[in-house]
Chain A
Amino acid sequence: MLKRLYLATFSVSAALLAAPLSAMACTVCAGGASDATIEGYNASVLFLMATPYLVMGSIAGGIFFTYRRALKKRAQAEAAEEPIGELAWNQEESAR
């Protein structure tokens, strides 16, 4: 088992050493630093990075304002209604 592990580690290390020295970091790193395409990718990345915050903020804001509105409505409804009396427990009926 240990022998196989050594062999696998050696194989992977040998493959990495035999790989070309310079390689593209990712598929979109195709141009130089001043290339317009890079600027396009940068703009896209920034936009996509900001969007989740916007979306989650909208969801949180929507829930927050709905909650506040519901509380206000509930308070108004309770003020309008007469208070409920104390509930009685009836053993005969609850046993059914």
Chain B
Amino acid sequence: MAQSSTARKIDQAPILKEVKRPAFGGGEPPAPPVRSNPPIASNAWLAVFIFLGAEAMFFAGLIGAFLVFRVGSVIWPPPFQPRLPLGVTGFNTVLLLASAVTMRLALARTRAGDGAKAVRFLMLTASMGATFLLIQGYEWIELIHFGLTVSSSVYGGLFYTIIGFHALHVFGALVWLGIVYAKARRGRYSRRDCVGLQICALYWVFVVALWPVLYGFVYVY
């Protein structure tokens, strides 16, 4: 009688006459049946989480460098340097924060088994992220026209380094989101298996959460 498994429920097993206890030396009875539990978090999630810790330290280094010059300067911004646009960037901040909400909603809809809505939320997230980058790009062009360049002063150098690295991260997250979106459209994520979407959402939320900190230090402070 061919069976595909070596273990079965006793009440369903038709060949109980052949049942034997395994002899694992010492004749101890086998351990009681246990349910195989899934891990609480995937390895990929844990890896991205730790990677984000390293990313946070990288940005902390940049902010630390900024603080040396900002706190150490009596006049900030330095003379003959343009002021940074607070209003437009404030709107951009709200836009980016909203994209984190839609990202979380996409993840929640996927976990609820509603793939179609999740795809729509992913599209919305990507649109807001792309708009953020476009506004940032426009802002940079304006600032360069006003004379703020990387080499114009320490102020310019710090601004383009810190904000530029964040923009680079947003761009990377956007590319990743594009791949996740394409996979979600093909129905690759289900309520039980959505690790790819989960870690992308984690990265996206990190990039979004970082921005108000940078905005506060570089633009407002």
Contacts and interface: CB of A to CB of B under 8 A. Distances in A.
A49 to B, nearest CB: 10
Contacts of B57: 51-52, 55
Nearest to B23: A91
A62 B205 CA distance: 13
Contacts, number: 113
Contacts of A43: 67-68, 71
Interface residues of A, number: 38
Given A47-B64, A59-B53, A90 B40 contact: no
B145 interface: no
Contacts of A71: 40
Nearest to A46: B67
Q: How large is the interface on B (under 10, 10 to 19, 20 to 34, 35 or more residues)?
A: 35 or more
Given A39-B72, A67-B40, A90 B15 contact: yes
Interface string B12-29: 110110111110000000
Contact of B68 (A44, A74, A78, A87): A44
A37 to B, nearest CB: 4
B40 to A, nearest CB: 4
A62 B53 CA distance: 11
Interface stretch (B2-10, B82-90, B127-135, B171-179): B2-10
B160 interface: no
Contacts of B53: 55-56, 58-59
B104 interface: no
B19 A90 contact: yes
Interface SS of chain A: helix
A48 B136 CA distance: 27
B70 A78 contact: no
B61 interface: yes
A66 interface: yes
Contacts of A88: 7-10, 13, 16, 19
Most buried by B among A44, A56, A71, A74: A44
Given A51-B57, A66-B41, A87-B7, A40 B13 contact: no
A25 interface: no
Interface string B58-73: 0011011101111111
